[in-house]
Amino acid sequence: MAETSSQHRPSAREIAQFVQQRTPLRPRIAMLLGSGHASITNQLKEKVVIQGDDLPGAPLQSPLLIGLLEGVPVAVADAPLSIHEVQSAQELALPVRVLRALGTDLLILTAGAASLCQQLEPGTIAVLDDHLDFSGLRPLAGPPDDHGPRFPDMSEPYARRWQDVARDVALRAGVPCLPGVFAAVPGPHLPTRAEYRFLRQAGADLVGMSLVPEAVAAVHAGFEVLALVGITQQLLAGRPVQTSIEAMIDAADLAAPRMASMLVGIVAAADR
């Protein structure tokens, strides 16, 4: 395992330089993939695998893979820990900053989430167009740094042009796909019925325990961001349903082939 002294924590740029020494590929697109979505890594060509704890400072819990997908150099890792599993927002922000320091311009985030609206049924892929942040984590808090502007504009956290690309890819692939607003909650307990009602009335279409802190860090770092969410279950007003994380993970696994199809199509579109 990589070790660092207490006096020096490696910066995102230093970690990126370490990665660049391992491969001649210079990725253009980065992906942080949620539960059940990492099968895309089996399609990478000229793949280099770097274990997360081999990186200086061990910023990743999972391997970082660099390779070619549809002829496009990409960097792929599992999504960082869920909101309730981290001690600070910096644990979620650092992997994003490392991927940006590698020279990537587009960050694709994926996750699973529960739907709060009629149109987003289980198995559907939602393309995020906005979010509500109830996570309690603030990846930009603290002293100013050189990763981005002190007060980044968040009027369009998810790049509209990539939303259009994703929906076009879904249409061509026959994947049900709709826009949505994602509410991030800390967990690990699931929301109560009253909290689900509040989130829906506040404008949320989806609710989950990840993704938003990384999206904020990515916008700050200068990424274009695209977020795809696989719907794992549907929770509608007047229809109380008991929920379990195990059932949600199973549903996310079932949606994995659709997510993989979309990821391949989006990367291919980036090369046109």
- Give per-10-residue mean pLDDT for the chain (272 aa): 56 92 96 79 92 83 91 89 59 88 96 89 91 84 64 87 96 92 87 88 92 92 95 75 63 77 93 72
Q: What is the pLDDT of residue 193?
A: 83
Q: Tell whether 230 is covered by a domain.
A: yes
Residue 3 domain-assigned (yes or no): no
Is residue 7 included in any domain, yes or no?
A: no
Strand, helix or coil at 231? strand
Q: What is the CA radius of gyration of the chain?
A: 18
pLDDT at residue 243 in the model: 61
171: number of Cβ within 10 Å = 11
Give 171's contacts (C-beta < 8 A, 6+ positions apart). Answer: 177
Short-list 79, 96, 99, CA closest to 35: 79
Q: Rounded to two decimals, what is the model's pTM?
A: 0.89
Q: Is the backbone peptide bond immediately before 152 cis, with ω within 30 degrees of 0? A: no
Handedness of CA 187, 255, 264, 174 (dihedral sign): negative
Domain harbouring 112, CATH code: 3.40.50.1580
- The parent domain of residue 102 ranges over 12-270
What the block records as the tokens of 129 is 């167009």
Between CA 208 and CA 179 the distance in angstroms is: 16
Instruction: Give a yes or no: residue 248 inside a domain.
Output: yes
Residue keyed to tokens 């150099």: 73
What local confidence, expressed as pLDDT, does residue 152 receive?
77
C-beta atoms surrounding 145 within 10 Å:
13
Count the domains in the chain: 1
Within 13 A of 64's CA, how many CA atoms are on the CB side? 26
Q: Is 140 among the domain residues?
A: yes
pLDDT of residue 96: 92
Calpha distance 154→151 (Å, rounded):
9
